[in-house]
Amino acid sequence: MKERTYRRERDSMGMVEVPTEAYYGAQTQRAVKNFSISPYRIPRRMRDALALIKSAAARTHAAQGIIDPEVSGAISRAAGEVMSGKLDDHFPLDVFQTGSGTSWNMNMNEVLARRGSEILDGKVAIHPNDHVNRGQSSNDVIPAAMNIAGRIQSAGFAGEMRLLQQAFEAKAEQYGGRIKLGRTHLQDAVPMGVGQEFAAWAEQIGAAAGHLESIFPRLQELPLGGTAVGTGLNSTPGSPEGMIRIIREETDIAFRLSSNPFRQISARDEMVALMGVINECAVILMKIAQDIRLLSSGPRSGLGELVLPSLQPGSSIMPGKVNPVIPEMIIQAAVFVMGKQTSVTLAGQNGPLQLNIMQPLIAHEVLSSLDILEEGVSRFRTRCVEGLSVPEGSTESAVEKSLALVTPLALRIGYDEAARIAYAAYEGNRTVREVLYEEGVLTGEEIEKILDPRGMVWPEEKKKK
């Protein structure tokens, strides 16, 4: 194994040994030594958003004549390499670090400075602070990068939720004419349509996707130019507007300058709101996955109303057993995200005075939640929902056996008498229909009309008869 070599770099605190091959410098190396306590690193979208901001700043400052166009071009080219993933190995910092995210900001500044200088063949020594971080502070750049990353990533997740909504809508249409037994408290309830159950899930997913999309305008507001606390100290007039123009062009998203950078630097309210909607999505996904898991139970001694795609053996000891692996996967992912909601809630409260001091944690929890659920929803759709089937006759037979068929009788013979008939059917192991015929409470025509399950589900059909 090749022995690692080091170069010596100086910063404002003195000399530091940095790995020879690393594009980062002294400040990043100090942070590596201070904060390496977990396997968690800067989220990919966060890293890319930081690189985009740095490129936009360099291009704006070159246009204003503040930095040399050649330097600007090198910084932008290096930023492009970051966004392409070419420089992934040069971002070693832990999520758990200084609460402002200064170390992430300086890591990016140092990488772009060194790689930019290399691009210029050393003709110009690009400085991480004087050139790359010109007119910026970690305190406005990190919140802006969080919003950019959150906006882009939440759009991807919302897109997957819309596809899942469409998959459930397709199932609702496919099985629209089938009836089944509804269940409340895990007990038999009145009949309903199989398509109605699928449509309800589609509506839940669609509403959650809409809530995600409603957060987008808040995420599109960026505190760039606010610098340290919101006053804009050291920011060049016109540069924040120039940066925003470039970011809009590069992302095709209507980002805009913050109406109050003091607020966005001291508080991360929009990220807390985004995490709240992500949590809502997790709750809905878990509920639906649990429903599918219950409805597919069996196949012979459970409900057996849904058949899931067979993806893998379900047991190491019971041959032929197939488990609801994808619903269980999404259930666990949902629980994982619900825990992150608690983290973001607590982190959002920790903005004493002019700066939130849990920004790296918020970025990690929100963006990793979006990552997990976006991929999880895609798998849930393609490897479970799209392949769901309803076996012929599996739902109708339970309807006829249900004591809940007695419900519409209450309007005709009264609640107490209807309850008596239900108990008689239960105790005699008979159907409600059989008891009614035996007791002669109603005529055969009346019994068939009142106990028509399709008429209970779709009253308009009963009116046509």
pLDDT (tens digit per residue) in 245-298: 999 999 999 999 999 999 999 999 999 999 999 999 999 999 999 999 999 998
Same domain, 181 and 316: yes
Cis amide linkage into residue 408, ω under 30° from 0: no
Nearest partner of 244 among 263, 233, 259, judged by Cα: 259
pLDDT (tens digit per residue) in 434-443: 999 999 989 9
| Rounded-to-integer distance, Cα 462 and Cα 134, Å | 74
Same domain, 49 and 171: no
**Among 188-202, 343-357, 399-413, which stretch is predicted with the lowest mean pLDDT?**
399-413
Give the catalytic positions in this structure.
Answer: 185, 315
Q: What mean pLDDT is predicted for residues 93-103?
A: 97
Q: What mean pLDDT is predicted for residues 358-386?
A: 98
Same domain, 192 and 124: no
For residue 419, being part of any structural domain is answered with yes
Task: Kindly tell me if the per-residue pLDDT of 103 is higher than 60.
Answer: yes
**Among 7-16, 77-86, 149-158, 189-198, which stretch is predicted with the lowest mean pLDDT?**
7-16
Note the pLDDT of residue 2.
72
Same domain, 167 and 284: yes
Residue 83 identity: M
For residue 196, being part of any structural domain is answered with yes
The confidence band for 318, taking pLDDT boundaries of 50, 70 and 90, is confident
Task: Kindly tell me if the per-residue pLDDT of 317 is higher than 80.
Answer: no
User: Which residue range forms the structural domain that includes residue 121?
Assistant: 23-134
Task: Say if residue 224 is exposed, middle or buried (CB neighbours under 10 Å; 0-12, 13-18, 19+).
Answer: buried
Q: What mean pLDDT is predicted for residues 341-370?
A: 97
Nearest partner of 400 among 432, 422, 423, judged by Cα: 432
Note the pLDDT of residue 275.
98
Note the pLDDT of residue 462.
57
For residue 435, being part of any structural domain is answered with yes
Q: What is the mean pLDDT of the chain?
A: 95
The confidence band for 1, taking pLDDT boundaries of 50, 70 and 90, is low
For residue 447, being part of any structural domain is answered with yes
From 387, 419, 447, the end of a domain falls on 387
| Rounded-to-integer distance, Cα 49 and Cα 435, Å | 70
Task: Say if residue 449 is exposed, middle or buried (CB neighbours under 10 Å; 0-12, 13-18, 19+).
Answer: middle
The number of distinct structural domains making up the chain is 3
